[in-house]
Structure 1
Amino acid sequence: MLENKNDRKAWLYIALPLFLLVVFTFYPLVKTVLISFFSGYNSISDNFGGYFDLAAYQSLFSDQYYIGALGNTMLLVFISVPVSTVLALLIAVGLNSIKPLQKLFQTIFFLPYVTNTLAIGMVFSVMFSHPLTQGVVAEGLINTLFETSIDWVGITATYENWMFVVLIYTIWSALPFKILVFIGGLQNISKQYYDAAKIDSTPPRRVLTRITIPLLSPLISYILITSFIGAFKAYESVLAVVGTGSRLEPDRWTAVAYVYDKINQFGLDGNGISYYSRGAAGAVILFLIILVFTVINLYVSKKRVHY
């Protein structure tokens, strides 16, 4: 009797969260998949049309802008995530070994995490600014310091230049949270391991690779999984750094930017496919890509993570 009463209380407590999940997560997800299957979906009347096909998916892979958006996203993911994770780990190890002013340095490194993404991105854009981007204005900080005159993020910026700036910003903005997590993990490692290493005169590099990294492997796995998911959804950072006005040029789109562009258009494209259906198909493909990489990370973590 008591167990049944406790069960009813438990279901009562989770009823509201479950309802919110169904309304704001599961329902939109299912409907997005359905919309992607109907190439004639009308977003105004919420009419699916009469064509249950895969035309929206077929049109995506013949769209050079979508291919380019996927390429931009993959480049951001596979460069920013490993680099930021390694840097965060090394900085955390360094901060953990510094006793004086340790809390102060931790706070300084964590400040970017609590600052608005768009605001910091705009600061980066100004730092790398060039007269060609906003008419006749002074050179940005970077050009001034290095005595150059390069258009890093403006309308005449090359692919290599603006992508380089976006990567720097993405890596830098990802460091604070990762550093905080790694410091917390380092402080929970028993000092006995390091004392034993000192007795054996173990070199610092070997201590890092044989003690610190294996004992932090659960946290590293968590950081990698969440970082991959976040990097695949990159949009605001790119918009803030290399956006022109309130939009991104098509050649600077990420996968999410492509989806946003399509769902903000009404009607059919030149092939008779709804823009909204194409946006939904792009969202579904991105979801599947993230799912695949998450499963791979979880599989690898079972082999490499030491608990």
Structure 2
Amino acid sequence: MTSTPALPTSPTAAAAPSSLVLRSKESLTPDIVRLTLTRPDGDPAPLPDWRPGAHVDLHLADGLIRPYSLCSDPADRRRWQVAVAREADGGRGGSAYVHDELEPGDVVAVHGPRNHFPLDPAPRYLFLAGGIGITPLLSMLAEAERSGADWQLVYGGRSLAAMAFRAELLAVYGDARVRLVPQDTQGLPDLDALLGTPRPDTLVYCCGPEGLLRAAERRCASWPRGTLRTERFTPPAPGPPLADAAFEVELARTGTTLTVPPGSSVLETVEQAGVDVLFSCREGTCGTCETAVLDGTVDHRDALLTPDERAAHDTMLICVSRAAAACHRLVLDL
């Protein structure tokens, strides 16, 4: 994700996950299911408030924790909905479990919501979606429509049959606002035409496969800084090897100092010391483990923080980021 995240909250402050019931599991395409989650029967408490772009972490079998974007109506406090695509190569097991094992009536532990991909106010929006990347944009479209903003959605997929929510989008907004681009008949979206000329007062929100995100980043390089907001479901390809020296982390709340050895992450080190932390992807994409940095300089290795946030060195994703080469100690709000 690349956006303006909410202020970080320390993973150690995590409350226990909510126990929600899977009320329905609906096939939207051959490879995508929509899950509807509610409080257990007899529990009248509304679900926590959330805004477009938020995600929740589902605790699945065998310790799997996976983030999924909320794609329902934020005003509906009775239910949450997420859509899950089956990963073609099996992924890390989360999507296979959802598709093959999870059934209506099952109780699911859920953390969140969290929002590192918020919809900021703007007169105009261009929304770019690829495949399952449509999910965080659905509630954004409704919000943009309610605000009276001018907006357009360009939604690409392998084929029309593989594109979830296509009928709903056209029924609600029509083809003047929604452009479907199935690759098997139309090829890839024409990003040169869409992004070739910077447009004032326009924010671009993009979510989908890495190829789409990188192409959008290249074409938005000449746009005003902060125009493009992206969310990644998987980490980008690794760059050149970085320094991996040992360093210390001081846990400010207890005064404990730990050594993070080469080859280990801050998250792994604090876990081994018995510190209860929240995490999900362990890849620097979801933001669940974001932690405030009270002192020190960070070697940021995530796919979430903006350049300005990285330059501030006041927050880090402890699952992947480390102390910078010239910094031998980080002080964390843990």
Q: State the TM-score, normalizing by the size of structure 2.
A: 0.21
Structure number, greater radius of gyration: 1
Q: State the TM-score, normalizing by the size of structure 1.
A: 0.23
As a proportion of its length, which structure holds more helix? 1
Specify which structure has the bigger relative contact order, considering alpha-carbon pairs within 8 angstroms and separated by 6 or more residues. Answer: 1
